[in-house]
């Protein structure tokens, strides 16, 4: 029995609860509502595709969907759905690397 299953099975409040999705919980990167620059969107999509290729293999369908999203807003939503289907640990690693690559660190 996995830890995740045991906590849901033993906690009636969690039964039937859906896991929040990565992009709906806090829109970030290419899914951010504040991103209006199409050049920056393309850069972020390609960066994300490269990170996915390293973690999931170059044939993963999310890569092609991210490339399609450069010109198609519906593909961006499909990409979010594919991202949400990745294992949680992979999602966390991908998002962490994406943030490190695309955003400057604040000075301490």
pLDDT confidence bin for 26, thresholds 50/70/90: low
Domain-wise residue ranges, the chain? 3-102
Residue 47 and residue 98 in contact, taking contact as beta carbons nearer than 8 Å: yes
**Confidence category of residue 20, pLDDT binned at 50, 70, 90:** low
Q: Are the beta carbons of 65 and 78 closer than 8 angstroms?
A: yes
Taking only the tens place, the pLDDT of each residue in 33-66 is: 888 899 999 999 999 999 999 999 999 999 999 9
pLDDT band at residue 18 under the 50/70/90 scheme:
low
Task: Please give the helix or strand (H or E) that residue 77 lies within, else none.
Answer: helix 73-85
């Amino acid at each position: 029995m996995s830890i995740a299953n045991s906590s849901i099975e033993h906690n009636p409040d969690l039964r039937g609860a859906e896991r929040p999705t990565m992009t709906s919980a806090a829109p970030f990167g290419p899914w951010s509502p504040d991103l209006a620059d199409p050049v920056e969107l393309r850069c972020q999509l390609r960066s994300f595709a490269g990170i996915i290729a390293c973690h999931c293999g170059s044939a993963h369908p999310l890569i092609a969907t991210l490339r399609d999203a450069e010109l198609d807003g519906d593909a961006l939503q499909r990409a979010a759905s594919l991202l949400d289907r990745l294992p949680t640990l992979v999602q966390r690693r991908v998002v962490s690397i994406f943030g490190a690559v695309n955003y400057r660190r604040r000075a301490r």
